[in-house]
Amino acid sequence: MRHPSTKLRPWLYPVLAWGWISGGLVMTGSGGPLFAQTLVDAYYGQGATSWEVWGDQRSNAISSGFANTMYEGGFVGREVFQEVLTGHPAMGGLGLSAGWHRTWSNEPFAKINAKGKREWALAGSFGSELLVSTMWRRELFDLVFLGNAGHTGRIDPLTGTGIRMGVFNRLSLGLENIETRQRIEIGVVQRIAGAEFGILNGSFWVSEAADSMSMYMQTYASTSLDQFPDSGGFQLQQALPAYGVGVSGSLPLSSDMWPLQFRVDFRDIGVFWEPAGGMLAVVDTGFSTTGLPAFGSGWAWEGLLEDGVPTSVDELVFSTDSALGRLLMLPSQISATLQWWPQPEWQFQVKLRGGSWMPEPQLTAGVGWIPSARIALGVDVRTGGWGGVRPVTWVKVRVSKKRVLGIEIEDPLGWAWGTEWAQNTYGRGVRIQLERLPGERWTRYAGFNSRDL
């Protein structure tokens, strides 16, 4: 007997759309499988399927209150920036992620093992993702918003400041073992467009008496466009897509004696080739001065006022619209999750996740409550990634015998944008997942004890 294939119900389209539009920002989530596993030796059905959309934005320095103040505009007082600077780490960062992802597994192959069971099923996944990663030095924030008057005599390093962004599509195929649920896929990743800017080495210094100044800047900017959008606007033909190959998969390890599961998930471990022809600009220059002489030509005030700046931009910037191709790492991500069910109603989990251009690993720990076979909910604490400590709440609802809807809200108060509640939050995120449980004789029904209600 063949079970119906997985199809999205029409009513789910608004839900997904809401996930896209309100998603905002950043990534991943916990809220994965929660419950002790039950092995079912029965009918072979179609494998598990899931739809996932997410949006997440997070910073370790820019609070929602400050961002809202900047967004509202008007005159911003010095105390506002000083308050931000007080809690500003040495390297500020802001990350943004939005995307969707679908995984599926077919009915197992007809291959029969020694016990008469089918073992492997064809599996695959595809999706898209937008990633934006921004980093800046605390000193740069200080210079831009407060100026250098308060710290003359100090060298302000600018090294490490930069931004990169990319839009990726992915498609992968592989196999999943119906008993161990171990899964391995190999896929093609397309970067539709990407751009980056970075200060490889830079510094700014004004002496304590403000009688000498020096600045050095080694920086670059590149984009996967073969020309800048002209007056006609951006044309899709101007983009230079890049392609790569990555390995994705899942390695769950369950204990037969203890209610524990350890699970490693990884996605897009690989590289992609950025083709030649993109645009590249490089600046490697510096100057040191005690001030310009009053009279004379060239770099003197008289010369500047009468003849303009004697150095043209072309002398300082190397630029080309035919950059060489290069090999780059995919925005890989990997996570390790340890789950423990001390009682059927309770779940504890710890999850460590890295990659996806995050500046540091993201750690999540929390507890979940399963009051019934239809619902599970929990609270986590998350730190790392793009920001500091923040709360995460999640809920999973078994909307039908075969389907589970999961919603995870990261930093819930952050969604109260523009209110007092959100003032001290540093981001917000949402992840909506619709899972279809695997068929009979599969294992691990999304954390629920059984396929049956």
Partner 1 sequence: MTFIGFLGRSFPVWIGVSLAVLLGGVSGCKNSLSWEHDLHIPVLDDMVTWRDFVPDSLYEVGVDGGPAHFVFSDTIDDWDWSDYLSLPDTDFVSRFDGQTEPFNGTIVVVEGNEVLGYSEPFNFDIVQLPGMELTEATLSGGTMTIEVVHSLQLEVEMMFNFPDINSDVGDGLAVPVLLPPATSNTPGVGSVSTDLEGIHIDFTGEFGTETNTLSVFVVALAGEVSNPNGYDTIDPEDSIVVSVSFDGVTVQTLAGYFGQRTLSSAMDVELIDTIPVPEPVIDLEGAQAELHFTNTVGADFRLYVDTIEVADQLVEGSLISGHDIPRATWVNGEPVPAEWSLDLAMPGSNFLDLLEGLPQSMRVAARFLLNPEDMSDLLIDRMDARYPPTFWYDVRIPIKAGARGLMFTDTLDVSGLDEFPNFDGFLHLDLSNTFPIEVEGRLRFEMSNGNLWQDTALVAAGSVPLGIVGKSTVSIPLNEDMALPGGTLVMEVWINTYGPQPFTGEESLRVQGRLEGTQLLVVE
Binding-site member from 167, 240, 409, 430 for partner 1 (CB under 8 A): 167
Q: Kindly state whether residue 235 participates in binding partner 1, applying the rule CB under 8 A.
A: no
Q: Kindly state whether residue 245 participates in binding partner 1, applying the rule CB under 8 A.
A: no
What whole-number distance in Å separates Cα of residue 157 and Cα of residue 138?
A: 9
- Residue 295 dihedral angles phi and psi, to the nearest 5°: -115, 155
* Contact map string, positions 23 to 62, toward partner 1, x by CB under 8 A: xxx-----------------------------x-x-----
Q: Kindly state whether residue 106 participates in binding partner 1, applying the rule CB under 8 A.
A: no
Contact 369, 346 (CB under 8 A): yes
- How many residues bind partner 1, per CB under 8 A? 50
Helix or strand or coil: residue 12? helix
- DSSP state for residue 412 in the 8-state scheme: G
- Contacts of partner 1 in 422-451 (CB under 8 A): none
Q: How far is the CB of 210 from partner 1 (least distance, A)?
A: 4
- DSSP state for residue 70 in the 8-state scheme: H
* CB-nearer residue toward partner 1: 234 or 369: 234
What whole-number distance in Å separates Cα of residue 281 and Cα of residue 298?
A: 26
- DSSP state for residue 232 in the 8-state scheme: T
Binding-site member from 4, 73, 116, 232 for partner 1 (CB under 8 A): 73
* CB-nearer residue toward partner 1: 48 or 62: 62
Binding-site member from 40, 91, 118, 148 for partner 1 (CB under 8 A): 148
* Contact map string, positions 85 to 104, toward partner 1, x by CB under 8 A: -----------x-x------
Other C-beta atoms within 10 Å of 331: how many? Answer: 24
Residue 193's contacts (CB-CB under 8 Å, 6 or more residues apart) are 166, 167, 223, 224, 225, 239, 240, 241
Q: Kindly state whether residue 370 participates in binding partner 1, applying the rule CB under 8 A.
A: no
What whole-number distance in Å separates Cα of residue 134 and Cα of residue 130?
A: 13
Binding-site member from 11, 115, 256, 295 for partner 1 (CB under 8 A): 295
User: b/e for 157-181, b at 16 or more Cβ within 10 A?
Assistant: bbbbbbebbbbbbbebebbbbbbeb
Binding-site member from 12, 40, 122, 130 for partner 1 (CB under 8 A): 130
Q: Kindly state whether residue 258 participates in binding partner 1, applying the rule CB under 8 A.
A: no
Q: How far is the CB of 71 from partner 1 (least distance, A)?
A: 5
Q: How far is the CB of 245 from partner 1 (least distance, A)?
A: 17
Contact 145, 81 (CB under 8 A): yes
Q: Give the rounded distance of the alpha carbon of 389 from its chain centre.
A: 17
Q: Kindly state whether residue 251 participates in binding partner 1, applying the rule CB under 8 A.
A: no
Q: Which residues bind partner 1 (CB under 8 A)?
A: 20-21, 23-25, 55, 57, 70-78, 81, 96, 98, 126, 128, 130, 132, 144-150, 152, 165, 167, 169, 171, 206-207, 209-213, 289-295, 301
